[in-house]
Structure 1
Amino acid sequence: MSIDHLRADWHYPTSMRVGPGRVRELPDLCGELHMRTPLLVTDPGLAQLPLVTQAVAQCRAAGLEVAVFSAVKGNPNGRNVADGVQVLRDGGHDGVIAFGGGSAMDAGKAIALMAGQRRPLWDFEDVDDNFQRVDVAGMVPVIAVPTTAGTGSEVGRAAVITDDGSRVKRIIFHPRMLPAAVILDAELTLALPPLITAATGMDALAHNLEAYCAPTYHPMAEGIALEGVRLVKEYLPIAVADGGNLTARQQMLVASAMGATAFQRGLGAMHALAHPLGALYDVHHGLLNAVLMPYVLRANGAAIAGPMERLARYIGLSETGPDAVLNWVLALREQIGIPHSLQDVGIDGEQLPRVGQMAAQDPSAATNPVHLNARQYSELCARALRGAL
């Protein structure tokens, strides 16, 4: 398949412009959404790089009064959002361009949500019907431009924000947090180093895999997840080994968006554990999912045997037994340089009981194929800590 075949306009789950070089359409897209003074939200590492400075220059050349906010942590917190909202209000900005990885996506969407709200951010946590508290008129539109292929937050209706007071990652949700438009441009991911490419790519795999395994009824999401896993299998090793391969980069951006679309069906224990571990230890979310993945697959083994055999056949594994997908995941992790244990990424065992309690209460736990209590989550985390599969 030539790279030209990967250029398209999609309208599911939102308006999407797909293909290398399409970031140059950003000024036109702002105009279509009636943005005149957008706030570009990114992270400190990207803010001074050409991919951001050129996008800003193009917007300004088109007459847009764009400003940049980049005080966003790798795991964005409530203070980051509050600071961004203040900048947005002070500058009279009428929209947000979320430009970067998952942290910029989540922070940008939360800032856009909070633009004209009078309630505090945590009042909109994804619990019960809290989203109905949102004053929709106080929201501003978002254009999402991902520069990593992992979280898929550009097609999500929520943002994961750390509450530093309680050291808990909270999911902020509203249906209209879904960005109004998305640009999936593989050229923006070419500079990603192999380790970040691997960790973010495994995050995309985690989303697709957990959505596929979730026990809820959503055949459309299940089908999307199935194909998302296949794309990761085919293209993630290429993207890690040859970062300049535009086809692999573009297909991984698509796989990432597919994962976030599919997990309307639900997630599971990988995310239930990654959320508290990320909040407590400030470790990259995708890397945590990558390390936890085989341990969770083993823990869920009996409940997902049938789906795993179907998945093994679909993605073309040479074996199709109940452990086929697990063995493939282990081989993939080794191939792309993912550590085997949580200890290898700086996690210690001092807070295992707390991690277990937080995981059991995490919204992602509700759709894990096997119900696990706090003690079982602690034990699962302990196995991942030791590397005892």
Structure 2
Amino acid sequence: MFSFCIPTEFVFGTGCFKELHKYNLPGKKALIVITNGKSIRNSGYLAELENQLSLAGKEYEVFDGITPNPTTDSIMDAAKTAKDSACDFIIGFGGGSPMDSAKLIALAATNPGNIWDYCQKGSGGRKLPTNQPLPVVCISTTAGTGSEADNSGMVTNPITHEKLGIGFQSLFPVLSVVDPELMRSVPPRLTAYQGLDTFFHLAEGYLSKKANYFNEMFSITGIEKIGAYLARAVIEGNDLEARENVAFANTLGGFVMSTGKLLSQHSLEHILSAYHPNLPHGAGLILISRAYFGFFIDKGLCRQKFIDMARALGNKNASEPQDFLSALDKLLEDCGVSNLTMSEFGIKAEELPAMAKEVRESLAPAFECDPTLLTIEDCAEIYRKSFK
């Protein structure tokens, strides 16, 4: 048995961004949430969004203080800006960081206290919202997080170094716009990181104990798209066919998260980037992926599903679970990211045992959907095998 509701209007396709003024925008004044980088301004995308809002007769305010790993402080600063500027809806414009942040800003803008009060994990306050959040619009300029299709956002508590998700049904975007044209300017390395984040959403969802007919369908279709098109998008960013197919896989990854649950791979990574904010999330997942999936293969678990994923990645003759690891290695090599090391991101071997203990104890629910329950020692071993 399964049940889900994704109450979001999706607009998908090349060129749809420049039709934004025709869509049903949910308020009179938007807080546009972007990162503190320069690309979205230099590309002209922000100017076009402002133009689209003007054509729609909407006012707007821009908040550009979101970092690649958003913090509770930046969420609260943005929520204050939304309230002080009388914004009645939030637009998350960019990749996963601004889209995730938009949802949490929408929550913090209408509810008392700190956003961490509403985190249901770790040291979070476990409060429930008393007021409806502001409506959220997501406009994706990357293909990595699937945030346009889920109801949660990741945030780091800089005091405790916890990087956790906060999610409620009320945080689903009311409108999500996915235009592959906006993704052409993403550099090759970031395209690889983001596309592989998408892949791991799909693979984890497929192996999860919460997998069901819907998200298995989404997962395999998305994995096929990643296998056929991600390396092309990395090599030639202007390949719109590749960009569109990877963007579609990414949105499917969001559906996978909204109709099932991921494995603990994401939690194992989140603690790495919580302590090392310069580590891109996708890169962290790449670093631990071979040891992580290899752990379950060595245990003889999910045999047919690993074979299915190897075939979906392009090895039509796959007949053993190890073929999945070979297909994963090829995908990483084709995308130019097979030789990443923890050391280059400042991670030290002596940190890893404590991280394994912290993630396993503070995020115990994240391990409940794994094919078998990982121990602290198992987590430490996965980190150890991944270190170089």
Q: Same fold (TM over 0.5)?
A: yes
| Alignment-derived partner of residue 27 in structure 2 | 35
User: What TM-score do the two structures reach when normalised by structure 2?
Assistant: 0.91
Q: How many residues align?
A: 373
1:180 aligns with 2:150: no
Query: In 2, Cα distance between the equivalents of 1:297 and 1:250?
Result: 28
| Within-5 A mapping of 1:17-56 | 17-29=11-23, 32-45=24-37, 46-49=39-42, 50-56=44-50
Contact 2:7–2:174 (8 Å) recurs in 1: no
What amino acid maps onto 1:133 in structure 2?
L
Of residues 256, 274, 285, the one that matches 2:281 is 285
Structure 1: which 5+ runs fail to align?
1-10
Match of 1:368 in 2: 370
- Is residue 222–residue 265 contact of structure 1 (8 Å, CA) maintained in 2? no
Q: Distance in 2 between matches of 1:130 and 1:80?
A: 18
The one-letter amino acid of 2:290's match is P
Indicate the residue corresponding to 2:57 in structure 1.
63
**Aligned to 1:192, which of 180, 186, 189?**
186
**1:354 aligned partner:** 354
2:107 aligned to 113, 116, 122, which one? Answer: 113
Q: 1:166 to 1:316 in 2, by over 3 A?
A: same
1:259 & 1:102 partners in 2: Cα distance?
13
Aligned counterparts, 1:309-388, within 5 A: 309-317=307-315, 318-338=317-337, 339-360=339-360, 361-362=362-363, 363-386=365-388
Counterparts of 2:195 and 2:311 in 1: how far apart (Å)? 21
- Which residue number in structure 1 is paired with residue 76 of structure 2? 82
Q: Tell me which moved more, 311-320 or 44-53.
A: 311-320
| Residue aligned with 1:268, SS | coil
Cα deviation digits, residues 253-304 of structure 1 (max 9, x gap): 1111111211242212321211100100111111111222111110111212
Q: How has the CA–CA distance of structure 1 residues 358 and 36 changed in structure 2, closer, same or farther, with 3 Å as cutoff?
A: same
Alpha-carbon separation, structure 1, partners of 2:8 and 2:261:
20
Conserved 8 A contact 1:47-1:70: no
Q: Distance in 2 between matches of 1:267 and 1:193?
A: 27
The residue correspondences of 1:9-20 to structure 2 (distance < 5 A) are 14-20=8-14
TM norm structure 1: 0.91
Counterpart residue number, 2:291: 295
- One-letter code aligned to 1:106: D
Displacement of 1:352: 1.1
Write out aligned runs for 1:125-274 (5 A): 125-127=119-121, 133-137=128-132, 139-263=133-257, 264-274=259-269
Alignment CA distance shift 1:34-1:179 (3 Å):
closer
Asked whether the equivalents of residues 120 and 127 of structure 2 are also in contact (C-alpha less than 8 Å), the reply is: no
1:89 corresponds to which letter in structure 2? K
3-state DSSP of counterpart to 1:367: coil
Partner of 1:75, secondary structure, is coil
Identity fraction in percent: 27
Shift of 1:180: 0.5
Which runs of structure 1 show a deviation greater than 6 angstroms over 4 or more consecutive aligned residues?
128-132
CA shift at 1:314, angstroms? 4.3
RMSD: 2.0
The one-character-per-residue Cα deviations of 1:288-342 (angstroms, maximum 9, x if unpaired) are 1122211111011121222112333444413321111110111111121113432
